[in-house]
Amino acid sequence: MKGIFLKTAYLLIIGTALLGKINSPTALVLGFIFTLIFSNPFKQYCHRAIHYFLKISVIGLGFGMYLEETFQTGKEGLGLTASSIVLTVSLGWVLTRALKLDLKLGHLITSGTAICGGSAIAAISPVIKSKGKIISIALGVVFLLNSIALFVFPTIGHFFKLTQEQFGLWCAIAIHDTSSVVGAAIEYGDEALRIATTVKLSRTLWIIPLSVLSMFLFGTQGKKIRIPYFILLFIGAIAINSYHILPETTTGPIVFIAKRLLVATLFMVGSTISIEDLRATGVKPILLALALWIFISIFSLVFILY
């Protein structure tokens, strides 16, 4: 009976998010509180659902964008993207050794911070032959900082009076996971959302060269590299909207539903954060992730402002 109640309550909150009754930060907190007080009744399915729902949401957002603006935005953010990734990966390699942390764990946390959170960790982990426990720790630490970023970044953005263009670029560079990037940008404005999504997805493509580098660093040449093919669907959605293949009466609702689905996905993300897992992580992985996050946040903000 209790199990049925928990499943019903969980699904009701997702339904509330889909109806637009809660915003991104609230959805994330509700997910965390739900799991803290009760437990996640769909824990075994959540990570897979988040994986697919996030991609569907991002592709849906593409129906509200245009090719020329998208390529221009990606081009403008290329220099900052490249420099931030190179510097973060280099610093992560140094700090991992300084903290005497497991090299594979340090590399996964660094990869998640440098590129795109959970997606980068999922892509790099098989390349360097990481064990399940190491992957779980890296994901837990990155998701924790993502949750904090969803609240902190909009506040900092308003404090520094960042324009929507500046904020969109900043959160795309400095927030790890795509879900939190889009969640923070939604709260800031539509233009911030467009820029953040575009730059973040162009940043995701850096998984490919980082995977190749990882092979050489850990001596695992010949392992299969995961390529984020869903980005092609995102570009396809932008092309459909740019050439007016579908009427606005169709693309408008798709974008609307994508935003609602993203909020529901953030609730699911929050419900996967476990206090027990974070306690088992230890201090050193969190110190590494925090140091890298502070570095990339300050570096990119100063770059954008000055």
Of 229, 149, 138, give the one whose Cα is nearest residue 182: 149
What's residue 60's pLDDT? Answer: 93
The model's pLDDT over 31-53, given as tens digits with 9 standing for 90+, comes to 989 998 988 999 888 888 988 89
Q: What is the model's pLDDT at position 154?
A: 94
Cβ proximity of 258 and 61 under 8 Å: yes
Query: Would you say 183 and 174 are in contact if contact means Cβ atoms under 8 Å apart?
Result: no
Q: What percent of the chain has pLDDT over 70?
A: 98
Q: Over the stretch 129-140, which tens digit does the pLDDT of each residue have?
A: 888 778 878 888
Within 13 A of 268's CA, how many CA atoms are on the CB side? 25
- pLDDT number for residue 144: 83
Give pTM, 2 decimals. Answer: 0.86
The pLDDT of residue 173 is above 70: yes
Mind listing the pLDDT tens digit for each residue in 222-235? 667 777 788 889 98
Mean per-residue pLDDT of the chain: 89
